[in-house]
Amino acid sequence: MNMRTLILLLALTAAPAFAQFGEKTEKNTSASVPSLSSAAAQLPGAPKVMDGPVDPKEYIVGPGDIFMANIWTAVPLSFQVPVTPEGSVVVPTVAEVPVAGKTLEEAKRQVLAEIRKKYITGTASFTLFTPRSFTVTVTGAVLNEGPVIVQATQRVDAAVKQANDLQEYKVQSGFTERDPRTVLEWKKRREASGTRNIVVKRKNGTVVKADLDKYLATFNTSYNPLLMDGDIVIVQPRDLTKDYVGIFGAVTKQGNYEFAEGDSLSTLVRIAGGLTPTADASQAALYRSSTDGTPERIPVSVADVLKGTGDRPLQRGDRLNVPGAQFVSRGGTVTVEGEVLRPGSYPIVRDSTTLSQVVQMAGGFTAYASMSLSKVLRPQPATSVLPDTMLLRRGLTSAENEEYIREEIIFQVNDALVQADFDALFEKQDPAADVPLQDGDRIVIAPRVKGIYVFGEVKRPGFVPFTTGKSAGHYLGLAGGVTEHGESGDMRVIKGATKQWLTPDETTLEEGDYLFVPKEPYRSFGYYLAVYSQVFGIVGTVTTLIILVTR
């Protein structure tokens, strides 16, 4: 038998063994490594939302964590490895390695060292696949005291949020949003839940503190530690009337905040969201109550504090005021509405841009614009605005007239009326009638009405055609005249643009004006008796005086 024949026989003999080994290895590998999708589906505790990758130096491994071990050799191997209740991982073909209580970084290093002892060639990885779930107890100033389920990747804020869950509170307390008493109690308890002086007691006896406001201000995770199995989270009550520090002025979120030991000026400014763009950081002041109760003012440069110099520790009750820079803008915007070619908002310079300039910006008037009814309104408390009771005093005293006012015409003036004579400015081209505008002014260009509205004690109330130069009597005639109960002597003209109440002798009627005829007041017999008694008394007195004088 030559050498070639011997090699051929050895190859044929070994082939079935290699085939069986490959088949077994393939079966073992496929059996031990489920697909990622099926593995995830079998893990109800897998976190769906995380605030970022797990920090291997911070994460503490414990029973229930699931790892993925991958070994890349000639035949790749992959194993899903849970941490057993005893706190170890059993890596097939390698060893059992204790990992509970170690950081993720330490656990990975130790397991990989064991794998490399077995598999000298190739590479390996040991990766946290699914963080474990466990319970912690939240107590103190929360809506729902008791155990909550959390992930090992979650921090103190997650447990506190669950303990303050409104839906759970509704179930436990019978809270209903329709009952004012339960709403008040819920708000009171929610506002009393502190966020800065939270205490976390570990199973091993150590105690750590959490400051959620400081965490949100700095993103330093040491102020919001990871939760561990069996933690007890104690939420301290918040009392912003006694245990507080305050910051006001040119900051993003001014107000009072919980005081925590170690607070400083820089901490307070960061918790308040920082300074606004208009802050004058060099002129801030810290107000502190002295031993005798008098306030002490301490000048502070917040600009230096934020640069890392001049920081100062705070005491309970301290208040920081950051003034805004003195800046006066002359810019503004006015709105043009109604009968102009291009209605809209236009930029102005306050006390400089005039009414005529803005109308020109808006393209001028349409053919339907009414100068007599147009007006300029200013959004500020109007001292000349009259409530309904004052309107009724303008010659109106009876309940019937009040009813007319409410049914026929109610003038609600929400803005101050700026004195502007559109007719003089635009029809007569009088530059002296131009008006400087302010930020927020509204220019309302009204359409032509071509009528006078006659109402009150007239036979046919409503709009009647307007004719230039005609008197009030003319329009009363068009409305059918005054009824038998009308008081034509107390007739009033209400100007369409200004809503002024005038007698017909005080003004000229214009299109869009209102003509109101009040009802003659009802006089009882007692009223006339009192009047005649006074008249006869006066006559009697005068007669007596005349007789005495003539004697």
Residues 356, 426 contacting (CB under 8 angstroms): yes
Residues 301, 310 contacting (CB under 8 angstroms): yes
Domains located in the chain, CATH noted: 36-131 (3.30.1950), 134-235 (3.10.560.10), 244-322 (3.10.560.10)
Query: What type of residue sits at position 249?
Result: G
Q: Which two tokens stand for residue 61?
A: 């491994």
Residues 107, 81 contacting (CB under 8 angstroms): no
To the nearest 10°, report the CA torsion of 498, 476, 490, 393: -40
Determine if residue 549 is left, alpha or beta; phi over 0 gives left, psi from -120 to 50 gives alpha, anything else beta. alpha
3-state class of 438 per DSSP?
coil
- Rounded Cα distance between 223 and 212, Å, is 6
Q: Which two tokens stand for residue 338?
A: 């109604």
Task: Supply the pLDDT for residue 100.
Answer: 94
Task: Supply the pLDDT for residue 540.
Answer: 72
- Rounded Cα distance between 437 and 351, Å, is 6
| pTM of structure | 0.54
**486 forms bridges with which residues in the sheet?**
519
Residues 479, 454 contacting (CB under 8 angstroms): yes
- Helix/strand/coil (H/E/C) assignment for every residue in 217-272: HHCCHHHCCECCCCCEEEECECCCCCCEEEEEECECCCEEEECCCCCEHHHHHHHC
- Rounded Cα distance between 501 and 493, Å, is 6
Q: Which two tokens stand for residue 8?
A: 């051929």
pLDDT, one tens digit for every residue, the chain (551 residues) = 444 444 334 343 444 433 333 333 333 433 343 333 333 334 444 455 777 899 999 999 999 999 999 999 888 999 999 999 999 999 999 999 999 999 999 999 999 999 999 998 889 999 999 999 999 999 999 988 999 999 999 999 999 999 988 777 666 666 665 566 666 777 788 788 999 999 999 999 999 999 999 999 999 999 999 999 999 999 999 988 889 999 999 999 999 999 999 999 999 999 999 999 989 988 899 999 877 777 788 999 999 999 988 899 999 999 999 998 766 667 889 999 999 999 999 999 888 899 999 999 999 999 999 888 899 998 865 444 444 444 444 444 444 444 444 434 444 445 678 889 998 999 999 999 999 999 999 999 988 878 888 888 888 888 888 888 888 888 888 888 888 888 877 888 888 777 788 888 888 888 888 889 888 776 666 665 676 677 767 777 877 777 777 76
Helix axes 166-173, 180-191, angle to 10 degrees: 130
- Rounded Cα distance between 214 and 141, Å, is 19
- Rounded Cα distance between 198 and 471, Å, is 82
* Residue reference for tokens 């131009």: 434
Task: Supply the pLDDT for residue 546.
Answer: 77
- Rounded Cα distance between 214 and 197, Å, is 10
- Rounded Cα distance between 523 and 472, Å, is 27
**140 forms bridges with which residues in the sheet?**
235
Task: Supply the pLDDT for residue 174.
Answer: 63
Residues 257, 246 contacting (CB under 8 angstroms): yes
Task: Supply the pLDDT for residue 463.
Answer: 84
Task: Supply the pLDDT for residue 28.
Answer: 41
Residues 244, 271 contacting (CB under 8 angstroms): no
Task: Supply the pLDDT for residue 400.
Answer: 44
